[in-house]
Amino acid sequence: MRIVSGSRPTGKLHIGHYVGILENWVRLQNEGFETFYFVADWHALTTGYDETQNLAEYSKELIRMFMAAGLDPEKSVLFVQSAIKEHAELQLLFSMLTSVSRLERVPTYKEQKQQMEGNQSLANAGFLTYPVLQAADILIYKGEAVPVGEDQLSHVELTREVARKFNYTYNCEVFPEPESKLSHTPKLPGTDGRKMSKSYGNIINIESTPEELKKAIMPMITDPARKRKSDPGNPEICPVWSYHKAFRITEEDKKWVFNGCTKAEIGCVQCKKLLLQNMEKTLTPVWENLVEIDAREGYVDDVIYSGNKRAREIAKSTMHEVRNAMNLLF
């Protein structure tokens, strides 16, 4: 089964990206799926230009992090969306099959629009039509499954509709209807318990050193009821507990934390020390991979070049079928 997914280049990646997206992508690759992962640099342009001054650099950084997390360019096709112009052509053709009212009903569009009220860049047509670009991103490789969180389910549904409509309108079987591969990957809160976001200053970069991890974790907010060690707490309302669950805690340690917290038998410092150990254990292979990648001059560029080449071949072949189905002269 072929899997396609992308991520926007936003600079240094934080641990939320690692446990929320990359670990899952690596698992799918290693389970033997045919995996296509791309840097969604055009998507980054749909919500404004402010963050895109360093787009080229961020795109390279993302591929570097893909590999550090364990994506193997021999097993997965790693590429940059804007290098494959066929995505844009297919989006144009799909946009003829998609009504404006359907796009206005996409839940993430409605939510983001409300959240970013006053942001003039959201008045652009690209923001409204980005789910059509996503459909093109997936279908140009005939993706059969898309790893998504619950908030992205509606996008895959739209992709399925577009594929169905294209096949029906042009009486062909060019596109599969991809299924959602719902991943129950944890959404990590920031160190202050709010949503993890650069703008709140509550993120932890994947590339943090052990000392930086310690500096970020030890002052982390916990259950406010635990003023003293003798005060029982509730892990369910503590961000440290969310981190424990994301960073490969053993079942035995899970019980130790849960019981120790609820029965006031352990202190938050003890609890955080265990978390730090598990975070270091999880992130050490990533840090080691980064050292190796950085030691190979031009390696990231080479990977991008050959990933783009492999992606382009498939995209060209799909577009050939599309143009034939639509009776386009060229």
Per CB under 6 A, residues contacting ligand SF4 are 222-223, 226, 233, 235, 238, 240-241, 257, 261, 266, 268, 271-272
Nearest CA to 212 among 6, 73, 10, 12? Answer: 12
Where are any strands of DSSP class E within the chain?
2-7, 34-39, 76-80, 145-148, 179-182
In the three-class reduction of DSSP (H, G, I as helix; E, B as strand; rest coil), residue 98 is classed as coil
Selection from 292, 291, 315, 303 nearest residue 63 by Cα? 303
Closest among 257, 260, 234, 227 to 244, alpha carbons compared: 257
Beta bridge partners of 79: 38
Min separation Cβ 222 and ligand SF4, Å: 4
Q: Please identify, using beta-carbon distances, which residue of 67 and 240 lies nearer to ligand SF4.
A: 240
Please, what is the minimum distance in Å from the beta carbon of residue 160 to ligand SF4? 41
The stretches of 19-106 forming alpha helices (DSSP H) are 23-30, 41-44, 55-69, 86-95, 100-104
Shorter beta-carbon distance to ligand SF4: residue 37 or 243? 243
Burial class of residue 66 (count of CB atoms within 10 Å of its CB; 0-12, 13-18, 19+): buried
Q: How far is the CB of 272 from ligand SF4 (least distance, A)?
A: 6
* Residue placing its CB nearer to ligand SF4 in the complex, 148 or 266: 266
Whole-number minimum distance, CB 187 to ligand SF4, in Å?
17
In the bound state with ligand SF4, the residue whose beta carbon lies nearer, of 148 and 264, is 264
DSSP-derived 3-state class of residue 164 = helix
Closest to ligand SF4 by CB, 268 vs 303, is: 268
Shortest reach from residue 216's CB to ligand SF4, in Å: 14
Among residues 5 and 242, whose Cβ is nearest to ligand SF4? Answer: 242
- The H-or-E segment that residue 300 falls in is helix 299-326
Minimum distance of ligand SF4 from residue 278's CB (angstroms): 13
Rounded least distance, CB 136 to ligand SF4, Å = 44
> Is 33 or 243 the residue whose CB approaches ligand SF4 more closely?
243
* Helix, coil or strand: residue 56: helix
Q: Cβ atoms within 10 A of the Cβ of 301, count?
A: 11
